[in-house]
Structure 1
Amino acid sequence: MILDTLANSKKYQALHPLFEKAFAYLSDQNLSTMADGKYEIDGDRLVAAVFTKPGKSTEEANEKFECHDKHIDIQVCISGKESIGWKPRENCKQVKGDYNPEKDVSFYADAPEMYFGMEPGQFVILFPEDVHSPLIGDGEIKKMVIKVKI
């Protein structure tokens, strides 16, 4: 997991061949005026989703404690304040249901080991080994999630 501000995004472009294109896309957009919806950046290799949702309680968010096998998430806070639960996948022991290959998601019944906050202008990179429960907060949260195909 990597947590930083969009101003520092160039530091991470070399970590994956598609990160440079993903961060260039982010810098070219007026995130605050983007409509909710899906945006194709580079075919199915790089897809963004913008959504605005009410924040969830910690308990409610932890019901969907998730990770992905075939994608890296770049999650960007556009407005509101969000907390995200996190735990390394290697420490998760309680698989919750079967892996869903269509949605590329696995769920766990484990509890996060830690929580971190995100404010507008910050992003987190979540790799397949990062189990996470997003959208914890009060009020409305607008964010973008870019799915980077591995």
Structure 2
Amino acid sequence: MIIDKLANAEKYTSLHPLFSKALEYINSTDLDAIEDGKYEISEGLKSIVSTKIGMTAQESEAKFECHNNNIDIQICIKGNETFGWKSRNDCTKPKGDYNPEKDVLFFNDEPSMHFTLNSGEFVIFYPEDVHAPMIGEDEIKKMVIKVKK
């Protein structure tokens, strides 16, 4: 997992072949004006933008998730978004089977930590990062970029 400000995102482009293309997309997009929806960026990259009222930690942690085939770059565009996190290696209570169609596996484990992103900050979740997003009381606008592993 990586947490930083968008202003520093260029430091991470060497970590994956598609990260520089993802950053180009972010930099060329008016994040405040982009509408909710799904956007195809290029082969192996797609973006999902949503604006919703945050949920309780209990609601979010009911869908404590990770992915096998995608890396998530999650950007807080507006608001404050809290996440639960735990290393996949430390999770022992899978909740159902892995869904290859949606590339998601859920766990009944509790997060080992929580952190909050503010506007203009991002987190990168790798397949070993189990996460519970969208925790908050107010409106959160975010972008999730799915990067094919």
Alignment TM class, shorter chain as reference: over 0.9
Partner of 1:62: 61
Partner of 1:109: 108
Structure 2 CA distance for aligned equivalents of residues 19 and 134 of structure 1:
21
Partner of 2:49: 50
Partner of 2:19: 19
Where do 1:59-138 residues align within 5 Å?
59-138=58-137
Moved segments of 4+, more than 3 Å = none
The 3-state SS of whatever aligns with 1:30 is: coil
Partner of 2:5: 5
TM-score, structure 1 normalization: 0.98
The Cα of 1:41 is off from its aligned counterpart by 0.6
Partner of 1:38: 38
Identity %: 56
- Residue by residue over 1:29-55, the C-alpha shift from the partner in whole angstroms, topping out at 9 and shown as x without a partner, is 110100000111113x00000001110
The Cα of 1:24 is off from its aligned counterpart by 1.0
Structure 2 CA distance for aligned equivalents of residues 48 and 125 of structure 1:
14
TM-score, structure 2 normalization: 0.99
**Structure (1/2) with the larger strand percentage:** 2
Name the aligned partner's letter for residue 12 of structure 2. Y
The 3-state SS of whatever aligns with 1:90 is: helix
The 3-state SS of whatever aligns with 2:58 is: helix
Q: What is the aligned residue count? A: 149
Stretches of structure 1 lacking an aligned partner (at least 5 in a row): none
The 3-state SS of whatever aligns with 1:23 is: helix
Structure 2 CA distance for aligned equivalents of residues 122 and 133 of structure 1:
17
- Residue by residue over 1:86-119, the C-alpha shift from the partner in whole angstroms, topping out at 9 and shown as x without a partner, is 0000000000001110100000000000000001
- Residue by residue over 1:44-76, the C-alpha shift from the partner in whole angstroms, topping out at 9 and shown as x without a partner, is x00000001110001000000000000000000
Name the aligned partner's letter for residue 24 of structure 1. E
Stretches of structure 2 lacking an aligned partner (at least 5 in a row): none
Name the aligned partner's letter for residue 123 of structure 2. V
